[in-house]
Each structure stands twice: as structure tokens, then as C-alpha cells.
Structure 1
């Protein structure tokens, strides 16, 4: 097993007034040659958006984009005709493919919105753009890892154009569980949203990230009540 640890306070930070963002990987004006991506995982941004503000209409292509609200409401509109509000408990995925325009705005004038913006390199380029969204029942996450992203619309979660699987769980203090990787050659990037866990012998606190590869399973123990996101992605980019 190989690992790389990214402590929360080592992330890049950008404060634009209306937006404060912590970047696990190089993004915009933050560049660290040792932290450009983890396999197919290209962007993991922890965004805090002021009331009524947000990202106006802008383009993407050939990227898989996953949005996970942590608190508050995010209004999404895109050139595929989707107009929706994604809230805490929702998971949204968009395959930009040949090209799409979208906007993401704080839907509330009286409170901020916090969300994870995640980009994954696609398996195939120039596909027809696609959109999917689900709402989770928090009970689904209770003391287990629930699949929220997969490569197939026939499988659980939103689907993306990559051999990637994401799982999210709320683990009670003292709970021990394991994760078995879905595909040989993949790695897992673990991100602790709240609480703390150990993976193997590595302790992870709130907003710490750990990349793990060259293994087929992970042993996980919650050392406090924890909310944990696991992102399994290919390690080799074709």
C-alpha cells in the first residue's frame, strides 16, 4: 500500500470576498507541482459562497464535475436545459463532454452555501454532455459507506464517464469498517468532512485528505463521529 497525506491546513486558499475556497489540488492561482491531481481526480475544492453570489455562466468540456452541498442551497442552470436547486443531501454530476455552459449560484440571500466541487478526468473524450442528480436519505449513510457516484446509470448514485466510484458515510465513534476497491489499478482518495478516522495506521482529522493506492482494500475506524467521503478513481490516465 502506498499513501500520500494532505493535511487540511496545507491546502491552497483563495479568498475573493464573495468566495473562499480551499484547494486540495492546484487550481486557478494556486499551483503546487506536487499536488496537481491524484490519478483521475483533478480538483477537490471546498467552497464557501456568500449569500446571493456565485459562479456566473461559464464553459466546461471533457471533464466530469460532481457537486456535493454541505450546507445551504445552490442554484444550477446549464445549456442542456437543466434548472434546479441542489441542497444538503443532494449529489449532482455533469459530464461536460463536447462542451456545456453552466452557472452555480447561492440560492439564498440570507445565508452562505458550502459545497464540494470535484472534477474527474473522463474515460472517453467528446461524449454528449450528460446530467444526473440524486437526493440521499441521511438514514442511508448511518454507520455505513453508501455509493453516491458510479460509472453506470444502472448502478447506485449519479453516474459519470469514468471508472470511478464514490462512497459517503456517517460513521459512529468506534465503528470499524472496510472498503474493497471496485477495479484493479484504481486508488482511493479519502476526505474527512467531519470528525476523525484512521485508515490503516494513519489518523485523519476534519478536512484532511489521504490518497491510497497499490492495495485492494482499506481498513477504516472512526475515532470520533465522522462523515467520510471516499473517491475511488483510476491511477493511470490513458
Structure 2
């Protein structure tokens, strides 16, 4: 397997995430966010924010950004509505939604259910320019043991895959100088003797090939290349 030095890789353990909670909204922040500020949790390259959020039934939250930002929303349980300007986009499990928010821009995330809470990822990526398309992308995790290319543009790419126990795979970055951020959404993986479990993240710098092995059945891995 590829050999990552201590300088080339950093693990972000899930239990150390910043925790914000009200009666209607819970947020677990992988990187520094609001009052959660730790030296080891600075943004990774263009990846500025990676929050796992839970929203109560019929609740809407408003979000703003202070720079040109790509917003990636990925439902984990249930579905959400995202309102940008006068448009509303419905996103459910097996889909993700990507759009650009201008500096000073705002958007809203809404739980459309009458009684059920929803669980989703909110990911923000610093962009050098506006990507004009607002689009809902779909992916099929029934195709196991492979990373499914879902979004690819000049700024970043997003892949996701589900793996059976003991399945091995590898990923070659488009450019070995790019950064890779892996997030385990379910189960556990091993990256060169590094155990990455449910909701743990791993940042990997400057490598030609990333090799990994699923340690549990139906493990789910998300990969961002920047």
C-alpha cells in the first residue's frame, strides 16, 4: 500500500469534532467553526467546512458565506430542501446538490417532513471563480467496491463508494500535487495501517496512488480531491 508520512496525512477523529446543539438543530464540525477553534482543525486546502447536521421536523436554517464558496449538500437520512434565491431544490438519500454562493450570499436548508428529523452533510469549498450550474447529482451505491465519480470540475471532484468486508481498492489523483480528503460515512477502512472509522476524516497530501481496504460490510467512503 502507498506509504504516507506523518507530514503527508492527518486523521480527524469523529469524537473530537466541534459540537453545537439547540432544540431543533445539531451540528458536528470536522474543521474549525464558529466558537470551535483548535490548532489541529484548520481548513484543509480549499475544503473550508465539513459539518454533519441534524435538523428537526419543519425547521429551516439560514446560512451565509463571506467569500465565493461551493456548497455541497449530501443527505444521509431523509431528504432536505435547499432554497437559493427564488429556487428550491429537493435532495434525498442517494443524491447530492452542488451550487456556488457569492461572497455575502445566503441560502436556506429546510427539513420538509412533518414529524421526522433529517441528517445531512454540509461541505463548503473555497472557489477561485463562480461555477454557474446548480445541479442535483445522483449516485447508486448498489454498485459496490468501486468509487463512483459524481462531481468533477476544475476546482474539485467528489466520489463515493460502498464496499464489502475485506474489499480493496485504490484511487489515483488527477494530479499528485492535489490534496485528498477521505471521510468514512459508515463502517471502517484501513489506509496504510491507519484505521479510519465511522465519520472519521483523513487528509492526504502529494501522493500518486491511494490504496485502502474496507474492514466491515457495507462500508461507505467519500473522497474529495482538491
Matches within 5 A, 1:20-99: 20-56=26-62, 58-60=63-65, 61-79=67-85, 81-97=86-102
* Deviation (angstroms), 1:5: 0.9
Indicate the residue corresponding to 1:155 in structure 2: none
Counterparts of 1:84 and 1:189, CA distance in 2 = 26
Tell me, yes or no, if the aligned pair for 1:74 and 1:113 is still in contact at 8 Å: yes
Residue by residue, what CA displacement relative to the aligned partner does 1:117-141 show, whole Å, maximum 9, x if unpaired? 00011032xx37541112223334x
Matches within 5 A, 1:101-180: 101-124=106-129, 127=130, 129-140=132-143, 142-151=144-153, 162=155, 164-180=156-172
TM-score by length of 1: 0.86
Give the secondary structure class of the aligned counterpart of 1:34.
helix
Counterparts of 1:143 and 1:232, CA distance in 2 = 19
Distance 1:42 1:98, change over 3 A: closer
Tell me, yes or no, if the aligned pair for 1:89 and 1:136 is still in contact at 8 Å: yes
Tell me, yes or no, if the aligned pair for 1:78 and 1:100 is still in contact at 8 Å: no
Indicate the residue corresponding to 1:13 in structure 2: 19
Give aligned pairs, total.
Answer: 218
Counterparts of 1:98 and 1:218, CA distance in 2 = 34
Counterparts of 2:106 and 2:9, CA distance in 1 = 36
Give the secondary structure class of the aligned counterpart of 2:142.
helix
Give the secondary structure class of the aligned counterpart of 1:9.
helix
User: What residue ranges of structure 2 are gaps of 5+ in the alignment?
Assistant: none
Counterparts of 1:173 and 1:128, CA distance in 2 = 38
Counterparts of 2:195 and 2:172, CA distance in 1 = 19
Distance 1:39 1:98, change over 3 A: closer
Instruction: Give RMSD over aligned pairs.
Output: 1.6
TM-score by length of 2: 0.90
1:231 and 2:200 are equivalent in the alignment: no
Indicate the residue corresponding to 1:200 in structure 2: 192
Tell me, yes or no, if the aligned pair for 2:69 and 2:103 is still in contact at 8 Å: no
User: What residue ranges of structure 1 are gaps of 5+ in the alignment?
Assistant: 153-161, 234-238
Tell me, yes or no, if the aligned pair for 2:137 and 2:151 is still in contact at 8 Å: no
